[in-house]
């Protein structure tokens, strides 16, 4: 299984999805139509789609994995 086959679905309203640890690695697409997404450090192998604010701070790395 590769990152482009994983979907993290957060369909309801709530607090922002937060991804903060410098050593953190996440795989897949984060779908949050009623929330924001904040990444500070860490490595996201995939994508983030949010209805709120998308924030990428210092040392955040996103390697986009499009669907084949």
Q: Which residues contact 56 (CB under 8 A, 6 or more apart)?
A: 39, 40, 62
How far is Cα 8 from Cα 30, in angstroms, rounded to an integer?
5
Residue 62, both tokens: 């996103």
Give the mean pLDDT of 8-34: 92
40 DSSP assignment: -
- The answer to whether the beta carbons of residues 35 and 54 sit under 8 Å apart is no
Structural domain boundaries in the chain: 3-63
Residue 51, both tokens: 């209805």
In this predicted structure, what is the pLDDT of residue 5?
A: 86
Question: pTM (2 decimals)?
Answer: 0.83
pLDDT, mean over the chain: 88
pLDDT tens sequence across 44-67 = 998 999 999 999 988 888 887 665
How far is Cα 28 from Cα 34, in angstroms, rounded to an integer?
18
In this predicted structure, what is the pLDDT of residue 62?
A: 86
């Amino acid at each position: 299984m590769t990152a482009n086959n994983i979907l993290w679905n957060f369909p309801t309203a709530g607090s922002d999805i937060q991804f903060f640890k410098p050593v953190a690695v996440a795989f897949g697409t984060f779908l949050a139509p009623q929330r924001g997404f904040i990444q500070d450090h860490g490595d996201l192998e995939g994508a983030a789609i949010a209805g709120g604010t998308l924030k990428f701070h210092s040392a955040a790395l996103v390697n986009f994995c499009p669907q084949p």
